Amino acid sequence: MSREDLLARRAAAEAVVAEAASLALDFFARRGALGIDAKRPRDFVPEADRAVERRVRALIAERFPGESVVGEEEGGEAAERYWIVDPIDGTSNFIAGAPLWGVSLGYVVADEPVVGAVRAPVLGEALAGARGCGLARDGVPLETGARPPSLGLVSLGDSADDHLPAMIDLYARLRRGGWFVQSYHCTSVAMLFAALGRLDGHIQPQTTMWDMAGGVVLCREAGLTVATRRFETGAYGVWAGTPAVLDVARPD
């Protein structure tokens, strides 16, 4: 892909996510009146999820007619190149009225995210990025200088499909390595925080492409090391952080 194409898609992703986040924020303000379904225990789908995803699909169709879109709620086919959206990442936080939720959009080529945008609307935080093109915030290129000194904080994402003994071991390794470990129950916001330098990294051995796609790009463009793995089940793992974090947390 050319630099011009990547920059155009970064700008488009940022604009789409901003509009989708505004819609999601409207739903958040009246979340008590929303209908909520459950895909499985502790995996909830408020009607806001579907409405926001439909809006994202419509906005992408306006800008890139005919391009494939995969969404958490309405599915889709992952082509060689496709957009992927998590309309409300951190759904449990959203339902509970907590601010740690976000809208995430990625553009994937050959199973690798190359464009991403994440917005946490309650927090007023957002970034967009494209491979080799750096980061932008609200359309303005963001200078990424030296990272701030480590605060000794990392986030560890969990999943209903985690192997619990392995997660306990990972937590212990991080603590022994000198990090305090937090969990936000929202992959995209955790990776946004890592890209902004508020965490040394985000580790999540079991996740999905729609959860991590936007954040993978942000973390890479922020200068973090990012490793991903796809499993036979179709699930993914992501290890994003400073070299010191990955030395401790990266799988063999």
Annotated binding site for Mg(2+): 72, 86, 88-89, 211
**Per the annotation, where are the binding residues?**
72, 86, 88-89, 211
Give the Cα separation of 139 and 92 in Å (integer): 30
Separation of alpha carbons 86 and 105, rounded Å: 7
Please report the sign of the dihedral spanned by the C-alpha atoms of residue 128, residue 134, residue 140, residue 143: positive
Rounded CA gap, 178 and 181, in Å?
A: 10
C-alpha distances in angstroms, 49 versus 5, 92, 133, 135, 151? 29, 12, 30, 26, 34
Which of 240, 11, 19, 242 has the alpha carbon at shortest distance from 147? 242
The candidate with the shortest Cα–Cα distance to 105, out of 150, 53, 63, is 53
Question: Cα-flanking dihedrals φ and ψ of residue 18, to 5°?
Answer: -60, -45
